[in-house]
Amino acid sequence: MKNYPVIIIIAILLFSGIFIFNKKEDIKPLTLEQARTIAESSICPRKAVFTGEYSYKPEIKTWFFGMDASRRGCSPICAVDEKTKYAKFDLRWALN
């Protein structure tokens, strides 16, 4: 009986800590211009030429910029991640 207040306080602290640490991180979306700037200042332009095509996938918070690597059978892209603000070059090969 004497330990109930202590147990209740510990339980409240544990549950409040779980709530705070499980809170989803809000990532501010990048604009097209911001994403393009990141892509243009990355390794991507050294690997291929931008085609001007772009798309955005909100479910994975990533911008994709089309590129032309002059390689038969591949469709390269430059992917910009909103969370890390990092761009990576990716060769997508066509399956024949």
Asked whether residue 14 is assigned to any structural domain, the reply reads no
Asked whether residue 38 is assigned to any structural domain, the reply reads yes
Asked whether residue 57 is assigned to any structural domain, the reply reads yes
Per the structure, the count of domains in the chain is 1
Asked whether residue 5 is assigned to any structural domain, the reply reads no
pLDDT band at 6 (very low <50, low <70, confident <90, very high): low
Alpha carbon distance 40, 38 (integer Å): 6
What pLDDT is attached to residue 89?
A: 95
What element of type H or E holds 20?
A: helix 4-21
By residue range, what is the domain housing residue 68?
32-90
What pLDDT digit, counting tens, does each position of 7-66 carry?
666 667 666 665 555 555 677 889 999 999 999 999 999 999 999 999 999 999 999 999
Residue with tokens 């544990």: 14
CA triple 40-44-46, angle to 5 deg:
100
